[in-house]
Amino acid sequence: MTDLIACLSSGEKSWGHVERLVREQDWGNIFIVTNDFGKKNFKSEKKIEFVVVDFQQPAALLIENIRNGLKGRLADFEVALNLVSGNGKEHMAILSALLKLGVGIRLMAVTKDGVSEL
């Protein structure tokens, strides 16, 4: 099964989307890239592994911390990625970290028809 990686930023309006994405699909592993607030407050019935970072860090350090948080933990050479939550800097850091890890990316989202690849 494909691993899911999702950005979960401090703006809680997009958390429902991430929770539905986690709940409505079977994933190998679920990695949520978030900050301390997200780790403490995001709830799910499924097992989640958090990659906790400080989104205020400079981009280069943020990329390195995300890469280190995921290195050796991904089950395959391709991951499902959701970037509904967060901002451009956070999205770029996650994309850069995944590319540096050498994995392929499939963008996933919750649509009116359920979980779909974009």
Domain count, the chain: 1
Residues making up the chain, counted from first to last: 118
| pLDDT (0 to 100) of residue 18 | 96
101 in any annotated domain: yes
Q: What is the pLDDT of residue 97?
A: 98
Q: What is the pLDDT at residue 71?
A: 98
29, part of any domain: no
H/E element holding 96?
helix 88-101
In a domain, 48, yes or no: no
Q: What is the pLDDT of residues 28-41, one digit of tens each?
A: 999 999 999 999 99
Give every CB contact of residue 31 below 8 A, 6+ residues apart in sequence. 3, 4, 5, 6, 48, 49, 50, 51, 69, 70, 73
Residue 86 belongs to a domain = yes
Indicate whether 1 belongs to any domain: yes
- Provide the pLDDT for residue 48: 97
Average pLDDT over residues 74-83: 97
| Confidence band, pLDDT 50/70/90 cuts, at residue 10 | confident
Q: Indicate whether 105 belongs to any domain.
A: yes
Domain assignment present for residue 111? The answer is: yes
DSSP code per residue over 22-62: HHTS--S-EEEEE-HHHHHH---SS--EEEE--TTS-HHHH
Domain that holds residue 60: 1-10+55-118
For residue 92, is it within any domain?
Answer: yes
What the block records as the tokens of 97 is: 């970290």
